[in-house]
Structure formats: C-alpha cells, structure tokens
Amino acid sequence: MNQSADGSRPTFRFLRPEVLAKISSLELLARTVVEGFLAGLHRSPYIGFSVDFAEYRPYMPGDDLRYLDWKVLARTDRTYIKKFRGDTNTRVYVLLDVSASMAYRLPPAIEKREYACYLAASLAYLATRQNDAVGLITFDRGIVEYIPARLRPGQLQLILSALERLKPGGASAIADALRRIAERVRRRGIVVLLSDLYEPPDVLGSALRLLRSHGQDLIVFHILDASEVAFPFDEAARFVDLETGEEVPVAPDALGADYREAVRRHLDEVERFCQAHGIAYQRILTAQPLDWALYTYLGRRTRLQ
C-alpha cells in the first residue's frame, strides 16, 4: 500500500479486471480481491479500520464457528466467540442491475455485468468476513432474484452461486425496480447499488430518496465502460441498443461532441443529487481495479461502528 500523490488516500496494487476474469472460481476471485485489499489496509491510519481481536462474547446460534475459541472451550467447557473491532453485525444488501445494457463492453474491457458481479462477490465476501448479515437482490425492470440478508453458515455460498448463474436480463426500469426493492428492504442497514444508472436523473432520484427514507445508508457504484464516457469512435457505424434491439446509424464526427456533453451532464446531475442527499457515490470504469469501490464501501461501513 502506498500513499496517493496528494496524501489524501492510500493506493493499492490490484489485479486488473481482465486478469481476474481468468479465475474460474468466483469464491477464489472474491477471496483474492478482499484478502489482498485488507492486507494493504491492515492498521492503515487512513480509514480507522482494524480486524484486531477485541474481546470475547458468549456463542450465539448462527455465529460463525471459525471464530469459536476452541482453547477456551477445552479448558472451561464453555463456548465463546472472539469478537473483533468493527463487529457491529450490520445488515448489508447488494443490489445488482442485470438489465441488458449491463452486457455492454468494448474490448479489452470486460462486460459491465461481469465487473459488477466481481464487485458484488467481493462485497459479499468482505461483509461475511466482518460478521455482517449480507443479502443479494438482482433486478432489471423488476426483481429477478432475492436472497434475504442473513448471518448464517452457507450464506456466502448461496450468494456466490446466484452470481455465478447470472445472465443478462431484459430492458431496465431502475426506478420501478428500486421502489419494489424498498418495499422488501425495510430494516436499517447498508444498501449498495451496482448499476449503469440509465435512467433520467429526476426519476432515479425519487427512487433513491425512497430507499433513504427507510433509514438505509446508501452507496451507489456507477459502473460504466470507458467508451460510454469518452466515445472514442471515429468511423460511421450502426449502433445497436442492447435493450430494444433498435439500430441507429451514427456519424461520430457529427454527433460525438453532443454525445459526450450529454453524458457529462447526466453524470454530473447524478453525482450532485447523491451528494445533496447523503448518498455515497463512486463512478467506476470497468478497466479499473476494484480497490476504490472497496475503499468507498469500507469507509462508509466504518461510520456505523
């Protein structure tokens, strides 16, 4: 771990997403990402997070047996769990957009859906490691799969299995989906949204406000392919809408500047809304390592301690 050039944040050396894509096991991928991240973050003065042992507490049904102190059990015939600093049993929900637009990529970058899947797996692994109850909701125009947040053996494997069988969904209606999700996720905790946010900012904003109104601590990861922002194309071509199948002839010389300006306005409006409503916002390109996403999540998570 190194300090950033401006001294404000640590930087991490991470495997790039296209390298992670070569790892066949999603559990191994998540473990590689998270353990590498925590190894660099351990005892870091920048975030105040520690996995150091703090105290004992009596064993409760559902506790992870990995933290059972077997020496104390053998000596006293009583079951105690090693409690760690930061162990607040937070409830975490990962909301993953699987709509058709998330299947976009411009090689060598990986699909937005694939990147979001890696991030979701890493967040679930990290939450489990912190003894947080974690759940997963995938959605397009509605809820595709719902795994309630729980702290129990096998929960991580349940989530990873759901992520491994993900397929691109249909057309997106993020605001409608988030309203339905808000009806299910009512207990206070952390809600992490992974999406390309293709929705008018005002419509998206009303749905995000609904989630916040239930007392959720909301983190938004805005996942995009670099080409969606930079529009690096220089030859006329027919572009296909992944959600509708509609083909549109495009002359980059004529439309490129207008497109980039429209995208800039959209990104700025979404970010300003999040900042104004206490929502953590992080824009992420699929060519970037996952470290900033985990850093943003852990920084937000630490505030609940």
15-50+88-302 CATH: 3.40.50.410
Task: Return per-residue pLDDT of the chain as tens, 305 residues.
Answer: 444 444 444 444 557 898 889 898 999 999 999 988 877 665 444 444 444 444 556 666 766 676 677 776 777 777 766 655 444 578 999 999 999 999 999 999 999 999 999 999 999 999 998 889 999 999 999 999 999 999 999 999 999 999 999 887 888 789 999 999 999 998 889 999 999 999 999 999 999 998 888 788 999 999 999 999 999 888 776 777 777 777 777 777 878 899 999 999 999 999 999 999 999 999 999 999 898 789 888 877 766 55
The answer to whether residues 274 and 281 touch, using CB atoms and an 8 Å cutoff, is yes
Determine which helix (DSSP H) or strand (DSSP E) holds 222, and give its type and residue range. Answer: strand 217-224
Q: What is the C-alpha separation between 289 and 282, in angstroms, rounded?
A: 13
Q: Residues with Cβ < 8 Å from 78, sequence gap 6 or more? A: 58, 72
Angle between helices 291-302 and 26-41 (to 10 degrees): 60
Q: What is the C-alpha separation between 265 and 195, in angstroms, rounded?
A: 18
Q: Dihedral of CA 60/160/290/223: which sign? A: negative
Domain coordinates of the chain in residue numbers?
15-50+88-302, 54-84
Determine which helix (DSSP H) or strand (DSSP E) holds 226, and give its type and residue range. Answer: helix 226-230
Q: Residues with Cβ < 8 Å from 86, sequence gap 6 or more? A: 49, 50, 51, 130, 301, 302, 305
Q: What is the C-alpha separation between 18 and 228, in angstroms, rounded?
A: 18
- The CA-atom distances, in angstroms, between 272 and each of 53, 70, 190, 275, 277 are 39, 51, 20, 5, 9
The answer to whether residues 34 and 294 touch, using CB atoms and an 8 Å cutoff, is yes
